Amino acid sequence: MKALKFLFAACIALPLIYLIVVTPMNAEDQYIFGLCMIGACFLLSNISRKHFISVILILVSVTMSTRYMYFRATQTLAFDSLIEAICGWILFFAECYVYIILLLSSFQISWALKRETVPMPEDISKWPTVDVYVPTYNESLEIVRDTVLAAQCLEYPQDKIKVYILDDGRRKEFAQFATEAGVGYITRSDNAHAKAGNLNHAMKLTHGELIAIFDCDHIATRMFLQDTVGAFLKDKKLALMQTPHHFYSPDPIQRNLYLGRDIPCENELFYGPVQKGNDNWDAAFFCGSCAVIRRAALDEIGGFATETVTEDAHTALRLQRRGWRTGYLDKILAAGLATERTILHIIQRNRWARGMIQILRLDNPLFGRGLSFPQRLCYLSATMYFLFALPRVVFLLVPCMYLTFGISVLHGSAALLFAYALPHLFMSYYTSSRINGRHRYSFWGEIYDILLSFPLVIPTLAVLISPRHGKFNVTDKGGTVDKAYFDSHAVKPHLICAAFILFSMIFGIVKYFMPQYFTVQLGAVLLNVAWSAFNFTLLLAAICVARETPNKRKAQRLEITLPVLIYQQSGICSRSSLRDLSMTGCRLDNVLGDQVLQDDPVTDLEITTDHGVIVLKADMVSNSAYSDYLRFTFDNLDIDTRREIVRLLFTRPDTWKAAPHKQDNIIVSYFTVLACIWDSLTRKHSAKKKGKNEQRPAETVEDVIKKEGVPA
């Protein structure tokens, strides 16, 4: 019945769409038509936020883009000279790429699957056994340690879970730590196939029915397994359950450009609408970490895929070719460290891009066996996305070519072109703002892409030509940025390009105001200057990301209010309230007043948690004795104490729960971009300093009575 309805709708819609796409119009008519469509969608969109309306908007937007592309293909590809023809065709291909990505991603995000946790069966004997893998290569023990300790805090029957460090670095201190903490340690004699090889090696030595993988900085919350494993029991053909990668440290873009503003970070689009959309078509893919995989499924494809440098996506693709299902649970159950500096971010994305293009070339999802048509489209979208570098650069340069060299890459009047382009551009921005507006604000996607574009051009081409080459590089994490500085090296091509754009804009404006000296089309100049100005803003924003702001704090500090006892040397024990805590220290209300004397120092602290008490030796930061808060540093935490702090800081199920972002507004977003650039250039930090904490104690007598109750 549903299919029939769909068929019926298609019968009506398709001829209509065809008509809209192919009917030529003059500039004036096209303006009117475009504005009417925009107005109609505007109205429609404001009527309701229903999904049905969103689908219609997607449809209209795609239709208008198709109309534009049809116009481009049929009316604008006549050139006067060879150089113009070359540039013109390059631009056309770039636009075709963007158009294809638009089609694919429209399909991807059109239906988001809101997957819920499948509860675990009451009968614990039915719970499958799980191996928890923490692969590491060269990261410091300091980072890996807390991940492992958190894995030990996972709430799962102790006889059904085993935690392993997979150390590809063959480091003694890791083996020693594993023994002390009571987890398994697996290493190997070579490093063949990097992470995939590491995982495959470990698979031969362990026997859990399921494998949970956490990159060495991804600290899991304690309900991770109970939230993800249930689905494997319900669906015997489920091979993978992926959860979001969340970062508790700011990525370079957040730190250097958002400057404290509430803007969705880069990966929120992917770990929101995109993966949920993929999941709807049974095409959610593995992201290397924070996921659970069924061993039986991996065995069937011979373990993790080793041919590409993005073993994760490729492994998922392989599984799906064999008919295994995958799932994506949109619930933040683990958190890790974002790449610290812009240059590292670029290096990381370089690997992702190379890997995804490798898949595109070596195991193209469009062809080959086993995938459903929607799955092919989703995987194609994911892999093709990483070709964005070339078109991005083209879009940046094309208007400059016209303004400086007079190379006209489009045939036809500027007015007509604009009339066609306007509804196409506006509609695609508008729909994506509506659908993704809580996960990605307008124009930011362009900024992220532009930041990566220049550095990715050559790797992209190299891999396209020779896909079998390419090494896996590990992203450095957990570093610090001590001093503010401008990493001009990371954005050198951007700077050159920005200078070029600026020059061409000025040149263009000169041309505009002195038309007597130049032979130019004034409308075209105006259009290209406007286009360049837009490009320049985005490029400038990307450049600002390289203005590294210091990030001195080594340990993550979480605001958390808990009762704490302060032990002084004399034996006096006082109650206070913990206000924030990190792995290296904490801050509490100063309740000691003038009692903190030189001869009665604080020796220990006792933090009361739901899980018992944590007692630790602490050194008071001496200059805090007379301030509102006492600050302490912890020295030499033993493993058990450390595990308890990890449990407290990182493993509460609601640790990473955050309010959703405000819905995007295209215009506001553009001004936000400008404001970010301004603040970055003037080095202003818009994050407001938090005022003094409210002085309510962490726990009152009433709280305790409520918690403990009166015995019967």
Partner 1 sequence: MPVISVCSPKGGVGKTTLAANLAHVFSASGARVVCIDFDPQNSLRLYFGVQLSEERGFINIFTEDPKAGWIDAVINGGKNLFVIPYGKSSEDQRRALASVLADDKGPTNYLGEWQKGLFCDPSVLLIADFPPGYSPALAAISTVADISIVPLMADASSVSLFSVLENNELIDRPLNERLGYYIVLNHVDNRIRLNREVQDFAHGNFADRLLGVIHSDTSVIEAAAMQRSISDFNQNSSAAFDIEVIARKIAGLLKFDVKSGTMVLNPESQGA
Beta bridge pairs of residue 293: 211, 240
Under rule CB under 8 A, how many of the chain's residues touch partner 1? 25
Q: Pick the closer one to partner 1 by CB: 122 or 702.
A: 702
State how far the Cα of 505 lies from the Cα of 540, in Å rounded to an integer.
Answer: 14
Taking the complex as a whole, how short is the minimal distance between the CB of residue 313 and partner 1, in angstroms? 48
Instruction: Tell me which of 131, 167, 168, 215 is the catalytic residue.
Output: 168
78 binds partner 1 (CB under 8 A): no
Closer Cβ to partner 1, 73 or 572, answer by number: 572
User: Does 613 help bind partner 1 (rule: CB under 8 A)?
Assistant: yes
For partner 1, the binding residue among 179, 595, 627, 663 (CB under 8 A) is 595
Alpha-carbon distance of 126 to 232, in angstroms, equals 11
Using the rule CB under 8 A, which residue among 300, 476, 580, 606 binds partner 1?
A: 606
Q: Do the beta carbons of residue 151 and residue 120 sit within 8 Å?
A: no
Question: Which residues, other chains included, contact 45 with Cβ-Cβ below 8 Å and sequence gap of 6+?
Answer: 53, 57, 430, 434
Determine how many CB atoms are found less than 10 A away from the CB of residue 663: 11
Q: Cβ distance 590 to 578 under 8 Å? A: no
SS3 564: strand
23, 48, 466, 570: residue in contact with partner 1 (rule CB under 8 A): 570
Residues across the chain = 712
* Separation CA 145–CA 650 (nearest Å): 13
Q: With binding defined as CB under 8 A, does residue 710 bind partner 1?
A: yes
Q: Residue 19 and residue 2: Cα distance in Å, rounded?
A: 26
Q: Does 361 bind partner 1 (CB under 8 A)?
A: no
Tokens 């602290």 belong to 605
The answer to whether 99 touches 65, Cβ cutoff 8 Å, is yes
**Which CB atom, from 48 or from 700, has the smaller least distance to partner 1?**
700
Minimum CB–partner distance for residue 152 and partner 1 (Å): 19
Please state, as a whole number, how many other Cβ atoms lie within 10 Å of the Cβ of residue 407.
Answer: 18
Shortest Å, Cβ 644 to partner 1:
12
- Which of the following is catalytic: 227, 312, 589, 679? 312
* Torsion sign, CA atoms 512, 515, 518, 523: positive
Contacting partner 1 (CB under 8 A), which of 85, 530, 591, 621? 591
The question of whether 312 is a catalytic residue gets the answer: yes
- Lookup: tokens for 226: 């109970």
Residue type, 641: T
Binder of partner 1 out of 124, 192, 572, 668 (CB under 8 A): 572
Does 624 bind partner 1 (CB under 8 A)? Our answer is: no
Instruction: Tell me if 576 contacts partner 1 by CB under 8 A.
Output: yes
For residue 627, state whether it binds partner 1 (rule: CB under 8 A): no
Closer residue to partner 1 (CB): 681 or 704? 704
SS3 for 337-372 is CCCCCHHHHHHHHHHHHHHHHHHHHHCCCCCCCCCC
Q: Of residues 86, 510, 573, 597, which one binds partner 1 by CB under 8 A?
A: 573
Rounded to a whole number of angstroms, the minimum distance from the CB of residue 674 to partner 1 is 50
Stretch that binds partner 1, among 47-55, 77-85, 672-680, 700-708 (CB under 8 A): 700-708
Selected range binding partner 1 among 80-88, 91-99, 390-398, 697-705, rule: CB under 8 A: 697-705
Query: What is the smallest separation between the CB atom of 698 and partner 1, expressed in angstroms?
Result: 12
Segment contacting partner 1 by CB under 8 A, of 6-14, 156-164, 289-297, 570-578: 570-578
Contacts of 381 (CB under 8 A, 6+ apart): 101, 104, 105, 107, 108
Q: Residues 604, 653, 665, 670: which binds partner 1 (CB under 8 A)? A: 604
Sequence-distant (≥ 6) Cβ neighbours of residue 10 within 8 angstroms: none
Contact 184, 267 (CB under 8 A): no
Decide if residue 597 touches partner 1 (CB under 8 A).
no
SS3 category, 112: coil
Residues contributing to the site for partner 1 (CB under 8 A): 565, 567, 570-576, 591-592, 595, 604, 606, 612-613, 615, 701-702, 704-705, 708, 710-712
Q: What residues are annotated to the active site?
A: 168, 312
